[in-house]
Structure 1
Amino acid sequence: MAHPLLTLEDVSFILPDGTVLFSGLSEQFDSRRTGLVGRNGIGKSVLAQLLADVLPPSSGRYLRIGTTHYLAQRITPADHDTVADLAGTGAILDALERIEAGGTDTADFATLDGRWDIRQRLERMLAELDLPHLHPRSLASRLSGGEAMRVALAGALLSDADFLILDEPTNHLDILQRQKLAEGLARWPKGLLVISHDRTLLDTMSRTVELSAQGLRSYGGAYSFYQECKTQERDAAVRHLEQCRHERKQEETALREERERLAQRQAKGRRLGQEANQANILLGRQKERSEQSAGKLRQRQEAAREAMARQIREAASRLDEETAIALLAPDSAIAPQQRVVTLDGLVLPFAPAAMQRLSLFLAGPRRVGIVGPNGCGKTTLLKVLAGHLAPLGGVCERHVECAVLDQQLTSLDPSRPVLAQLLDANPRAGEAALRTRLAQLGLGAGAIVRPSGSLSGGERLKAALALALYAAPPARLLLLDEPGNHLDLDALRSLETMLGQFRGALLVVSHDEAFLGRIGLTDRLRATPDGWRLEPWPDRVPE
């Protein structure tokens, strides 16, 4: 068979409401391991479904050589589905069992297609993904989100497809599970297209393709290389914009001087005509010629201004829409000796036995990453610290104002605008001051007066931070539970910038190693087989 290839030729996709999601896409996807990146809402998932033949393009051509296996971002097994069904091997196992029971139906042999070891291969793959306890005939509806994703990934890695197309495969996976997925994908011998916001996974790709409002653009390297290219492009665009503005300033000066020279010539002509006592008819003609010259000059200068304005607009359009973010929350700062959290013999509910008990004392602007496998009690610990869940015993005290940013951002009322909620939280600050602070966070005048539920994930996260840090009194302890979930890469970088400017204390749960490494953590609270252990963050030299 020819080399597998997915080809887009001038492809467009129009949503049912008539909105053009993307248009004019032309690109080829071959056996290179490719990461697809782009902002939320730009159409990455739709493009993945189009490449997997799940959706047809609205126009243009899609050509495919080879087979594809598509893994959607959200895994929702039906009530009757088994683990084997979710892995895509249910029909094959059914055929195998009928043959083992003595069946001779040729359709079963065609379905099996020589895969006599499929049961052992599935069980081995489940064990590699830390699911050895699952039986292929167990109901998939009883699985957690992370377990369902891993079963679906096991099926993808067992498939005979020429291309794997995976949409956010690390969702719901902890750090260890993400590492094992990366190892499994490293052994995949065929074509691979991964849509992800996981920078660690994207850095294992050999090519990065960006989907933007300008279309598809291929970069010949992993995510780090792509980021270097984007930084260079942005720096060049900034320099070009500055040059255009400088040239406009020079041109404006030249145009002003030309107007002044014309005015001087007109004034001199009128003065000489009056001194020479010329006839009125000659003076009138002179005035007419002067006005014509002035009119032509105005037209020429207006055309020049429009050309310069167009050049500046084009230069500005090459820059990312993301603006610089300023998080002004000086009242959230914590003195080095200020007590923050006291946990003494705390007993956590719902946690495994080894993780139930915890004693911890934090003072000053400590920044703690809480890490460990799924189910060890990380989210439960944050809920107890926030006062949303009662401990089974022991002491849990917070000594400073606290705010929680959970995965659903429940601190935001989705039916009300951000500005109205912030005015309720700090009525004495005044609307003008709060508008300025929201603008400095990158929330524009239009966004802050719309219901917060209509905002993007990144905008909602900024709004939730604003409610916490610009309230009266402001939070000086932030508890963050997987804050990067469902954020695109631009929003993640914004969050990292904001948290880098925060001068209070921080406890954050996340499975994103790249994110944790960029927010200046001082400590790590790690779940171990022997219980919780507080230690310096690995990149930090112990004091």
Structure 2
Amino acid sequence: MSFPTPSPAIVCSDLSFAWTDGTPMFEGLDVAIGAGRTGLVGVNGAGKSTLLKLIAGVLRPAGGSIAAIGDVGYLPQHLPLDADRRVDDVLGIAEARAGLLAIESGDVDAQHFEAVGDDWDVEERARGELDRLGLPHVDLDRTVGTLSGGEAILLGLAAQLLRRPDVLLLDEPTNNLDRSARERLYDAVRTYPGVLVVVSHDRALLDLVERIVELLPGRARTYGGNLTAYLEVLAQERETAERLVRTAQTDLRKQKKELAEAQVRLARRLRSGRKAAIEKRVPKIVAGNLKRAAEVSAGKYKGMHEDRLDDARTRLTDAQDAVREDKEIRIELPETEVPAGRTVLTLEGVNTADDLYGPDGVDLIVRGPERIALVGDNGSGKTTLLRLLTGLDAPARGTVRVDVEGVRYLPQRLDILDEDACVLENVRRFAPSASDEQLRGRLARFLFKGDRPAQPVGTLSGGERFRAVLVALLSAEPAPRLLVLDEPTNNLDMASVHQLEQALHAYKGALLLATHDQPFLTALGITRTLTLTRGNTPTNTTDA
């Protein structure tokens, strides 16, 4: 018995899209996404976030069509939230809630009943979603500006879960979330009743999906199963491709050898024919015919071996193209070096007006090329502390002293570049005395080659933007001897995280970073951990 194949929930047909400067992203792309949970993957710059924006209607395609069943909800990487906006407004219940409050106070105006509609339990449902995502402390009258980055993401997710769209698109939803918050998000993903498409570099999250759609240049491939199954298939494909490369290389060597041997044999045959004609062992007319026949035969014989050699070269090129190579950043940064023992940064009793760091505040001394991790739950003050020690904000109490030149801060939102300027122009702002040749050389080592340095920053993917920010910071004058990073692996695919690790291994200065990415911290060789707990004095732990 045959069963009908279920119709896909999202269909993109012959989809085309280009940025305002004419840079193409998609040309004739066909993608079909089925019901259930789907992970959308691909290298940075493949267009994952762009595709979600096109499906959500945030961007308009230049050609082709997009069809999705029912209404579409979208949670972007960076929530465009007004700091003064209230929580109930973000959740989409402000009007209904105001109507309820008016009715409860005795105002029976018809407009209040119209605002409430059938949502008499809207406040309870909203409170339930917030509690479920670990935000029981977030009051509905609170403003967004008082929330941490992780709390803002959970609030945006709660808003989507409250309206229950038929199709929900999530772009890097675990960014800025601590471990417990991630677990709550995982649970929400597991139990979501509609169609869900997620872009993420979070392996645990991608292991919850039922299929993987990989964006490749000009096409998309669908794999059944979760991320682990997908990576197993890729490993098998790579092993097969590398075996074909070895076979093709062997065949190429064989064909080169046979061509050389054939050329030697033909040369001998021609010399033998000429010698016979000179010695007049055969009549002149016969010798001429034999010579012409030999030349024709030699040409055909040589052409056959050259064709075989060309075929072998083509097979080798095709086999090499089938092997996926992770591009690597290759840099040396000796000018950033800080001698061991030299004091880099001193914090004494640093605190906020509401004593976020307990009654005694933060005491911290950074010496030499230390690598210090800031860890703690969402709302514990990691970003706040980074802004205080880099001078972006002033502490309410305590002192901050920086004893080296070249302090550089990489914020979560990567908003230190000019969106309209190209990559080269942005890097030049940080290193004004460097020549174009020097800057292009540095950009090439960060994988911006060919025409890529001339690309506007606003058209870059999350990973490309990160590399552009990183090359700008590490090229800055004076050389950065204290590098401060806030959630640096957000929005990065696994290849880009590896590239970041390479860059930071080449960095010789002091490093201070806040992240929830424990494998990343392990790879960097963290020497100390500063653990923050809201309202309590931070604790220092030596890791190595």
Residue 533 in structure 1 maps to residue 536 in structure 2: no
| Residue 119 to residue 448, structure 1, CA distance change in 2 (3 Å) | closer
Residue 240 in structure 1 maps to residue 244 in structure 2: yes
Q: For 1:526, give the aligned amino acid.
A: T
Q: How far is 1:347 from its partner?
A: 2.3
Q: How far is 1:15 from its partner?
A: 1.9
Residue 117 in structure 1 maps to residue 121 in structure 2: yes
Tell me the distance in 2 between the aligned counterparts of 1:135 and 1:422.
42
Which range moved further: 210-219 or 405-414? 405-414
Q: Tell me the TM-score normalised to structure 1 length.
A: 0.78
| Partner SS state of residue 524, structure 2 | coil
Query: After the TM superposition, which residues 341-490 of structure 1 pair with which residues of structure 2 at under 5 Å, given as runs?
Result: 341-348=344-351, 352-354=355-357, 357-363=361-367, 365-374=369-378, 376-386=380-390, 393-394=398-399, 396-398=401-403, 403-407=408-412, 408=414, 410=416, 414-415=421-422, 416=424, 439-448=444-453, 457-459=462-464, 461-462=466-467, 465-466=470-471, 475-490=480-495
1:317: which partner in 2? Answer: 321
Structure 1 unaligned segments of length 5 or more: list them.
Answer: 538-542
Which of 187, 202, 206 is the aligned partner of 2:206? 202
Aligned residues: 529
User: Using CA pairs below 8 Å that are at least 6 residues apart, which structure has the higher relative contact order?
Assistant: 2
Residue 186 in structure 1 maps to residue 190 in structure 2: yes
Describe the superposition over 1:250-285 as per-residue Cα deviations: whole angstroms up to 9, x where unpaired: 211111211221112111211122122655544443
Which range moved further: 480-489 or 438-447? 438-447
| Partner SS state of residue 209, structure 2 | coil
Tell me the distance in 2 between the aligned counterparts of 1:55 and 1:448.
25
Q: How far is 1:14 from its partner?
A: 1.2
Q: For 1:304, give the aligned amino acid.
A: R
Q: How far is 1:206 from its partner?
A: 4.2
Which range moved further: 525-534 or 295-304? 295-304
1:12: which partner in 2? Answer: 14
Residue 211 in structure 1 maps to residue 215 in structure 2: yes
Describe the superposition over 1:500-540 as per-residue Cα deviations: whole angstroms up to 9, x where unpaired: 45555421122334433443323221112312211145xxx
Residue 519 in structure 1 maps to residue 530 in structure 2: no
Q: How far is 1:403 from its partner?
A: 4.4
| Residue 320 to residue 80, structure 1, CA distance change in 2 (3 Å) | same
Residues 29 and 220, structure 2, Cα contact 8 Å, conserved in 1? no
2:226: which partner in 1? Answer: 222
| Partner SS state of residue 8, structure 2 | strand
| Partner SS state of residue 266, structure 1 | helix
Structure 2 unaligned segments of length 5 or more: list them.
Answer: none
Tell me the distance in 2 between the aligned counterparts of 1:313 and 1:465.
34
| Residue 98 to residue 12, structure 1, CA distance change in 2 (3 Å) | farther
Residues 362 and 538, structure 2, Cα contact 8 Å, conserved in 1? yes
Tell me the distance in 2 between the aligned counterparts of 1:50 and 1:405.
29
Residues 89 and 155, structure 1, Cα contact 8 Å, conserved in 2? no
Tell me the distance in 1 between the aligned counterparts of 2:393 and 2:83.
31
Tell me the distance in 2 between the aligned counterparts of 1:399 and 1:18.
41
Q: How far is 1:233 from its partner?
A: 2.8
Q: For 1:6, give the aligned amino acid.
A: P
1:540: which partner in 2? Answer: none
Q: For 2:311, give the aligned amino acid.
A: A
Residues 167 and 194, structure 1, Cα contact 8 Å, conserved in 2? yes
Residue 168 in structure 1 maps to residue 172 in structure 2: yes
Q: For 1:310, give the aligned amino acid.
A: T
Q: Percent identity?
A: 33
| Partner SS state of residue 357, structure 2 | helix
Please report the RMSD computed on the Cα atoms of aligned residues, expressed in angstroms.
4.5
